[in-house]
């Protein structure tokens, strides 16, 4: 993270991240944290439908295929969609820590155009934790996990309590998520949105 802005550099007293003992096993599909999430939700017709898998340590791999609804310039992915894919991937890391956190800062570098129809392969890891702050990094590659880097990002997530979402979300969606009988889905619904 040497080229990272000061707000995204962990402080000297930051510690290495520790994977929660109940985190999904390496290779396990994390699944959507919320059906209506634009990044990973199955109920969003034009969403990214990003698929994330637990990796070793506090890392994940993910991928999504750029659809025509995701374009900015003709035939190319919109930069905001690519930033969303990075943010979704980075936010999914928090499930491995079993921490509810929101994006505090996201710094994105666009290196290559990403054509419609391309599958973007992402990898991300938490690099440090300092109190409520979680520092992480992600890379998106074209053509496979070893392909050329198209996008990358560094991020800072801030741990919050579920009340953050209850206080700021729309009441009907909050109630529906809180009433879900599946405890894991109920918890994951509140894990990454700002």
Secondary structure in 3-state letters for 17-76: CCCCCCCCCCCCECCCCCCCCCCCCCCCCCCCCCEEEECCCCEEEEEEECCHHHECCCCE
Residue 165 has pLDDT above 70, yes or no: no
For residues 48 and 64, the answer to whether their CB atoms sit within 8 Å is yes
3-state secondary structure of 117: coil
CA distance 142 to 82: 12
184-to-6, 85, 137 alpha-carbon distances in Å:
35, 23, 25
pTM metric for this prediction: 0.81
CA quadruple 70, 75, 80, 83: dihedral, nearest 10: 90
54-58, 60-64, 147-151, 161-165: range with lowest mean pLDDT: 161-165
Output the pLDDT for position 152. Answer: 97
91-to-52, 73, 76, 175 alpha-carbon distances in Å:
11, 27, 24, 23
Mean pLDDT of the chain: 85
pLDDT tens per residue, range 136-160: 999 999 999 999 999 999 999 999 8
CA distance 86 to 110: 11
């Amino acid at each position: 993270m040497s080229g990272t802005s000061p707000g995204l550099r962990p402080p000297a007293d930051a510690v290495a991240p520790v994977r929660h003992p109940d985190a999904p096993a390496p290779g396990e599909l994390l699944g959507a944290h919320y059906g209506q999430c634009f990044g990973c939700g199955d109920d969003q017709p034009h969403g990214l439908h990003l698929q994330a898998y637990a990796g070793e340590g506090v890392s994940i791999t993910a991928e999504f295929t750029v659809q025509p609804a995701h374009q900015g310039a003709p035939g190319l992915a919109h930069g905001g969609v690519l930033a969303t894919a990075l943010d979704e991937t980075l936010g999914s890391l928090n499930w491995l820590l079993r921490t509810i956190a929101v994006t505090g800062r996201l710094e994105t570098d666009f290196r290559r155009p990403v054509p419609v129809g391309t599958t973007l392969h992402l990898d991300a890891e938490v690099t440090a934790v300092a109190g409520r702050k979680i520092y992480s990094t992600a890379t998106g590659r074209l053509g496979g996990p070893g392909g050329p880097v198209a996008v990358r990002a560094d991020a800072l997530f801030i741990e919050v309590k579920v009340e953050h979402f209850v206080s700021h979300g729309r009441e009907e969606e909050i109630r529906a998520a809180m009433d879900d009988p599946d405890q894991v889905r109920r918890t994951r619904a509140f894990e990454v949105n700002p």
